[in-house]
Amino acid sequence: MAKNITSPAEDFSRWYQDVIREAELSDAAPVRGCMIIRPYGYAIWERIQASLDASFKETGHKNAYFPLLIPESFITREAQHVEGFAPELAVVTHGGGKKLDEPLVVRPTSETIINYMFSKWINSYRDLPMLLNQWANVVRWEMRPRAFLRTTEFLWQEGHTAHASEEEAREETLRMLRIYADFAENVAAIPVIPGRKTEREKFAGAVDSYTIEAMMGNGWALQSGTSHYLGTNFARVFDTTYLDSNNEQQYVHQTSWGVSTRLVGGVIMVHGDENGLRLPPKLAPVQVVIVPIARNESDRTRVMEVVDRLKVGLKQKGVRLEVDDSEGSSPGFKFNYWEVRGVPLRLEIGQRDLEEGRVMASPRNAPGREGKFTIPLDSLEKEIPDILERIQDEMLEEAKERMRSRTYSVDTLEEFREAITERPGFYSVWWDGGPEEEIALQQDTKATVRCIPLEQPEQTGKCIMTGRKTGNRVILARAY
């Protein structure tokens, strides 16, 4: 077991902090609630960005950049929006050595400023749909910060689109939710439950909010991405209208959707183990590390000759690879170093391996001697991509299996109350409560309604809070 890492079974929250520290993912900033994303943590975010950005562009979205500073009056225009965000705002009152006439808000999200611009850019139905995205930092004052999961400043992307009809905007909302779900499963190896948020949990200013909910290693839920149908709520207050083909002014129907650096926290908590981080190959900044093993200089020369050749060959195949030939540290130190950082596959090559024409492979997801296997040197370049593919599949399957085995069905509040404490997980229950029942549930059990899954049963049952008959099942869980 790696030093300095608490067992996740013993104290998941300390384990999480330990992994972040030991893998050098982030560090605390001098301003409370802010965080420094260290190079290795940032490299994971860059992989997330590259993958999602490609999906956004494939579906016709373009990146733009809107200002950080928003007039305070903008935020107050949409009633629900200001109610939701006012307590979290950072406010610039002085600029260029002077007190400002109107305070400026550091953007907590950009619906208002984007509507201000959309109202200028959109004139006729020919300008629609308008499909924009931005990669940016946002600030929301955070009272209980937690690295990656809840920070006062975080990095994210926010998509903002305007459409001629509700139908089209609703399609877009779900299209982007699907892109998030696909990314989570197929790149981050995180299975998710896509669903709709309740009235209480929805975005401040949205008509409907959708979410993908993922299960962490301790059975808690993490909201990992959201997509909102905003209706005409912002269009009405910013007068974002277009002339339709009958020459009549109409409000645009809008969406917004985002994922943030919080996803990095999700990756840690879904895949990490008692030895540190584990990264699925498609997301890993380093997919393969080669540790050359040499007892003397002549060993070293021969081993490095082969390693250098493999390096070139694997890089050509698009494998993200590091060779750890640093001097002054033992192979054991290096193994630990890359293990804590969750590199999916480690290859060891020594003089004896060369003689036997093979390489020793240690996949991160099957630790210890049992997981090791050898790869013939002459087929290595061909086999590595397949092995990485297999590790990716195995990690997804493992996460799926956990979610399956820790998703329970309960019928009464009493049953749920006991179960959620003993066996944290996802609880599927019949539900037709409103905000009041949600508050009561949370006070009683510390759990919240995570979502109303898109997939619903055909049957009906009795709501665990109201006792009323309903056709809706929801997922309850404790959540970050």
For residue 92 the two structure tokens come to: 């610039």
Give me the least distance between CB of 243 and its own copies, in Å please: 15
Ramachandran sector of residue 317 (left: φ over 0; alpha: ψ -120 to 50; beta: rest) = alpha
Query: Do β-strands 345-350 and 288-293 pair in parallel, antiparallel, or remain unpaired?
Result: parallel
Residues 363-382 that bind its own copies (CB under 8 A): none
Under the binding rule (CB under 8 A), the answer on residue 124 touching its own copies is no
Buried b (16+ CB within 10 A) or exposed e, 333-343: ebbbbbbbbbb
Contact stretch for its own copies (CB under 8 A) within 82-90, 184-192, 249-257, 386-394: 82-90
Taking the complex as a whole, the smallest distance from the CB of residue 66 to its own copies amounts, in Å, to: 5
> Which one of 38, 77, 178, 406 is in contact with its own copies (CB under 8 A)?
38
**Minimum distance of its own copies from residue 72's CB (angstroms):** 10
Contact 294, 350 (CB under 8 A): yes
Q: Are 128 and 158 in contact (CB under 8 A)?
A: no
Exactly one of 9, 54, 64, 440 binds its own copies (CB under 8 A); that residue is 64
Minimum Å gap between C-beta 432 and its own copies is: 35
- In the numeric block, the tokens 């982030």 are attached to 26
Rounded to a whole number of angstroms, the minimum distance from the CB of residue 445 to its own copies is 28
Q: Give the one residue of 68, 82, 293, 360 binding its own copies; rule: CB under 8 A.
A: 68
Q: Which of 125, 141, 156, 480 binds its own copies (CB under 8 A)?
A: 141
Give whichever of 86 and 174 is closer to its own copies, judged by the CB atom.
86
Considering beta carbons, is residue 132 or 193 the nearer one to its own copies?
132
Give phi and psi for 137, each to the nearest 5: -100, 145
Applying CB under 8 A, among 19, 20, 23, 35 the residue interacting with its own copies is: 35
Is 127 or 274 the residue whose CB approaches its own copies more closely? 127
Examine residue 91 and tell whether it contacts its own copies (CB under 8 A). Answer: yes
Minimum Å gap between C-beta 242 and its own copies is: 16
Q: Are 91 and 99 in contact (CB under 8 A)?
A: no
Answer yes or no: are the C-beta atoms of 194 and 177 closer than 8 Å.
yes
When the beta carbons of 57 and 423 are compared against its own copies, the nearer one is 57
Q: Is 74 a binder of its own copies (CB under 8 A)?
A: yes
Distance CA(199)–CA(437), nearest Å, equals 12
Which residue of 52, 106, 188, 284 would you call a contact of its own copies, by CB under 8 A? Answer: 106
> Site for its own copies (CB under 8 A): which residue of 2, 17, 21, 34?
34
Site for its own copies in 181-240 (CB under 8 A): none
Whose CA is closest to 336, among 43, 4, 107?
Answer: 4
List, as one string, the DSSP characters of 112-125: HHHHHHHHHH--BG
Write out the H or E segment, with its range, that includes residue 55: helix 39-58
**Reading across the β-sheet that carries 321-323, which strands appear in turn?**
321-323, 288-293, 345-350, 358-363, 373-376
Site for its own copies in 276-335 (CB under 8 A): 328
Compute the least distance from the CB of residue 146 to its own copies, in Å. 16
User: Closest separation between CB of residue 134 and its own copies, Å?
Assistant: 8
Phi-psi region of 384 (alpha: psi -120 to 50; beta: other; left: phi over 0): alpha
Asked if 77 touches its own copies (CB under 8 A), the answer is no
**What DSSP string runs through 180-219?**
HHHHHHHTS---EEEEEPPTTTS-TT-SEEEEEEEE-TTS
Task: Choose among 368, 365, 370, 363: nearest CA to 384.
Answer: 363
Q: Alpha-carbon dihedral of residues 400, 347, 3, 189, nearest 10 degrees?
A: -20
Rounded Cα–Cα distance for residues 287 and 365 (Å) = 12
Beta bridge partners of 249: 243
Shortest approach of its own copies to residue 457 CB, angstroms?
42
Of 14-22, 60-68, 168-176, 239-247, the window that binds its own copies (rule: CB under 8 A) is: 60-68
Considering CB under 8 A, how many residues would be counted as binding its own copies?
Answer: 57
36 binds its own copies (CB under 8 A): yes
Least distance in angstroms from the C-beta of 212 to its own copies: 24
Residue numbers at the binding site for its own copies (CB under 8 A):
27, 29-31, 34-39, 42-43, 45-46, 62-71, 74, 86-97, 103-104, 106, 113, 116-117, 120-121, 126, 132, 136-137, 139, 141-143, 152-153, 155, 328
